[in-house]
Amino acid sequence: MLIRSKAPLRISFAGGGTDVSPYREEQGGVVLNATIDKYSYATLQFHEIAHVSVQSLDYDVIAKYDVDKPLPYDGRMDLVKAVINRLLPADLNHGLSVFMHTDAPPGSGLGASSSSVVSVIGLFERWQHLPLTNYDIAELAYEIERVDMGIRGGRQDQYAAAFGGFNFIEFGKDVTIVNPLRIPADIVNELQYNLLLCYTGQSRVSAGIIETQVDNYIQRRTEVVQAMSELKSIAVALKNALLQGKLNDFGALLNDAYENKKKMAQQISPPFIEALYQVGRQQGALGGKVSGAGGGGFMFFYCPFERKHHVAEAVEKLGARVVDFQFESQGLQTWEVG
């Protein structure tokens, strides 16, 4: 028997960064995001040989470890091993292998790391029949990434991967509330038709950007604190525009979100990102945003339909690659084979 899982990646429209400590505990955060049809996949296979193996199908990396010892963190798929260390039964009398595959490269800005953690948790939840809700899975993924592994970052990616769909997520000191948005199909289709998603050609390490952002907030830099407060207001306005089908307003608000996002840390918008964004605007995009923490990875534009192909041509001339996508309404999914 095999157990498989997949968890979707996401694009974040506004509010990213307000879900990061200590801002979240002190001020409260909000994020508007949506999952797309790009995924982190995981497979769990059982065998008689008493070892645990972890393999990346993307990079042809495989690591094998004794089943009766905690898996060591040695730079090879440590996040996957952290899930196994948390959830592997102590009385296991056989071996198992975990295989990983992701539709986006590391540093993509689409929440791939968190999606991978959620997908592996899904394997163990299915195998052991663990009574975990989507909230439980998301919170466990957060603890594994941010506490066990000490990776700086926020909370939105884990919740997006677990729940799926369009969500307006509120982050408080002691609670996270996911508000699923019921958006008419016509509006979703039109938004998807007018959005242009592209890979910038350069990945980045988000932890360094987030560390700068956190330091700027802790130092109470006025521009940063004001920008983060404004981002929360913009996230609310974007949610309302989306629910009401005011998509041109939605596009213009994305520009406001991007301009405020850049104020949080200098690394968010390096010259090549800024050049891509400005050429997109010059070709008619109403707004757009670099996805995730910024600095590279994916970015997207909202374009009137008659200008979308012009924006695509312009950004591709600068080295970006346009990527087809659709919105995904489902979160974590697991199933058995054989």
* Catalytic choice (60, 103, 157, 256): 157
To the query of whether residue 157 is one of the catalytic residues in this protein, the response is: yes
Is residue 127 packed enough to be buried (19+ CB in 10 Å), middle (13-18) or exposed (0-12)?
middle
Query: How many residues are given for the chain?
Result: 338
CA dist 101 and 116 (Å) reads 8
* Beta carbons of 82 and 73 less than 8 angstroms apart: yes
- Nearest residue to 128 via CA among 83, 82, 69, 79: 83
Q: How far is CA 166 from the centre of its chain?
A: 13
Q: Please enumerate, as own/partner, the contacts of 126-133 that have beta carbons within 8 Å and a separation of 24 or more.
A: 126/3, 126/5, 126/334, 126/335, 126/336, 127/3, 127/44, 128/87, 128/89, 130/87
- Nearest residue to 287 via CA among 325, 252, 245: 252
Single-letter residue type at 243: L
Q: Which helix (H) or strand (E) holds 32?
A: strand 29-47
Residues taking part in catalysis: 157
